[in-house]
Amino acid sequence: MRETPGVVIKSKFKVPSTKKKSRQYTTYLDYINRPDAKDSREQFETYHDYMEDETKSSGLFTREDDRLNHEKRRAVRDIFKQAQEKGSILWQDVISFDNTWLRETGVLHDDLIDEKRLIQATRNAVEAMLQKEKMVHAYWTGAVHYNTDNIHVHVAIVETSHIRERGKRKPKSIELMKSKVIHSLADRTKEQEKLNAFIRDELIAHKRNRKIQTLPNRVLHPELVRQFKDIYERLPEDKRQWRYNMNGMQPLRESLNRLTDSYIDIHFKSEFQAFNARLEQEVAFHRRSYGDTEKAEHYRTTKRQDLYTRMGNAILSEMRDLSKEQVILEKKGAPKHPVRRAFNQQKIFNESLYRIERHMNDEFEHLKNQRAFEQLERDIEYGK
């Protein structure tokens, strides 16, 4: 299922021809910058004229300049003309926007467009694409156009040296351009950081500091402890495989995920509901911006898988610690009688858990107090 995307990029390229009457690269530059009445003998140069047509755009911009004076415009035309003479390919990109999406992101307000944001977003996108394509000697220019129902940006790119013969760029490079445009205009950094903060700073930090096999869990949450022991007893002999994404853990991942769900339901039920609400907001943003439900669903899956992976590794870390404690106990020389040996193992284990739990409870209380303090600061800031 697809819906109208916020941003669309269309790309093509032109290979230089040796024919005398072949259209020159400046034709495209003028196609996005020309007055309609132009001498056809100036086709290469006139491409920029179309880009600069005052009835369509507010002028050319480049990597360094938001506006080009007459001298710089002539210099740009010369660069493109010389690039064609050297045999450079001309790459042509059009970044088109859904104007409603621009209003949603605050780039378009009433009839006023924040052109500086569009220019900077284009710079971010083009530079990222060039870096991914390793087009070190590329030169480009662009222009924002208003002559259609959808505001759009024309971009023209040539290579000034080390000319490549291949014009087709990787699909991922174009996707990267689109992603850079979207996230430059609609910065979701804070929203995404909140998702990451829940996973790293709350959930994983709490798990690392609060062992599953504590005495309270044994009394209050025996099913949680049972799941932990069941996984521990089925771990592969090779401890190097005790990582969530290792091949040896494949049969146990589903069990690890269920243990993670149980842990969250016990310790972070309300926080996880808030996490899911934020996640759905980000999924909706991806669907609206990219116009692709499949990509939006992939974002949700990736973020949740990140949670399961990090929690799975935190649980496996506890299991490695438990294994080390048992090895140390065996080296100290446990009693031969199985009942006495089991009793001593459990005693040492419980004492260790008690010390860990006391320390972790202090850490958890500190975390809760810190979150309460931050909430108080936000309430004061917004006058609540």
Buried b (16+ CB within 10 A) or exposed e, 93-113: bebbbbeebbebbebbeeeeb
Least confident among 150-159, 279-288, 326-335, 340-349: 340-349
Q: Does residue 352 surpass a pLDDT of 90?
A: no
pLDDT at 44: 47
- How would residue 110 be classed by pLDDT, with cut points 50, 70 and 90? confident
Cα 231 to the chain's mean position, in Å? 33
Percentage of the residues of the chain whose pLDDT score is greater than 90:
40
Q: Are 226 and 299 in contact (CB under 8 A)?
A: no
Phi, psi (degrees; rounded to nearest 5) at 97: -120, 145
- How would residue 251 be classed by pLDDT, with cut points 50, 70 and 90? very high
Phi, psi (degrees; rounded to nearest 5) at 160: -90, -20
pLDDT digit string (tens) for 118-171? 999 999 999 999 999 999 999 999 999 987 788 999 999 999 999 998 899 999
The residue assigned the tokens 């970044």 is 95
pLDDT at 153: 94
**Over residues 204-211, mean pLDDT:** 74
Show the beta-strand stretches assigned E in the chain.
Answer: 7-14, 57-62, 90-97, 108-109, 112-113, 138-145, 152-159
Q: Does residue 19 surpass a pLDDT of 70?
A: no
The string of DSSP letters for 82-124 reads: HHHHTT--EEEEEEEE-HHHHHHTTSEETTEE-HHHHHHHHHH
pLDDT at 340: 57
**pTM higher than 0.85:** no
**Over residues 236-264, mean pLDDT:** 94
Better pLDDT: 69 or 58:
69
Residue whose C-alpha is closest to residue 322's, from 249, 229, 247, 227: 229
pLDDT at 190: 79
Residue 177 CB-half CA count within 13 A? 24
Mean pLDDT of the chain, nearest integer: 80
**Over residues 229-255, mean pLDDT:** 94
pLDDT at 68: 87
pLDDT at 247: 95
Buried b (16+ CB within 10 A) or exposed e, 295-331: ebeebeeebeeebbbbbbbbbbebbeebeeeeeeeee
Q: Which residues lie across from 286 on neighbouring strands?
A: none
Q: Does residue 312 surpass a pLDDT of 90?
A: yes
The residue assigned the tokens 């490695």 is 320
Q: Does residue 206 surpass a pLDDT of 90?
A: no
Q: Does residue 367 surpass a pLDDT of 70?
A: no
- CA distances (Å), origin 21, targets 27, 35, 42, 84, 248: 12, 21, 12, 14, 65
pLDDT digit string (tens) for 79-97? 988 888 888 888 999 999 9
Identity of residue 153: V
Residues 6+ apart with CB under 8 A from 93: 9, 10, 11, 126, 154, 155, 157, 177
Better pLDDT: 19 or 63:
63
pLDDT digit string (tens) for 216-235? 677 678 888 899 999 999 99
- How would residue 20 be classed by pLDDT, with cut points 50, 70 and 90? very low
pLDDT at 39: 38
The string of DSSP letters for 192-252 reads: HHHHHHIIIIIIIHHHHHS-TT-HHHHHH-HHHHHHHHHHHHT--S-GGG-STTSGGGGGG
The residue assigned the tokens 């419980």 is 350
Q: Are 103 and 132 in contact (CB under 8 A)?
A: no
Q: Does residue 211 surpass a pLDDT of 90?
A: no
Identity of residue 364: F
How far is Cα 64 from Cα 80, in angstroms, rounded to an integer? Answer: 17
How far is Cα 261 from Cα 268, in angstroms, rounded to an integer? Answer: 10
pLDDT at 267: 86
pLDDT at 62: 94
Residue 291 CB-half CA count within 13 A? 12
- How would residue 24 be classed by pLDDT, with cut points 50, 70 and 90? low
SS3 content of the chain, % helix, strand, coil (to 5): 65, 10, 25
- How would residue 189 be classed by pLDDT, with cut points 50, 70 and 90? confident
- How would residue 49 be classed by pLDDT, with cut points 50, 70 and 90? low
pLDDT at 64: 93
Least confident among 67-71, 221-225, 267-271, 353-357: 353-357
Cβ burial, residue 124 (10 Å; 0-12/13-18/19+): middle
- How would residue 292 be classed by pLDDT, with cut points 50, 70 and 90? confident
Phi, psi (degrees; rounded to nearest 5) at 91: -95, 135
Q: Does residue 48 surpass a pLDDT of 80?
A: no
Phi, psi (degrees; rounded to nearest 5) at 111: -105, 15
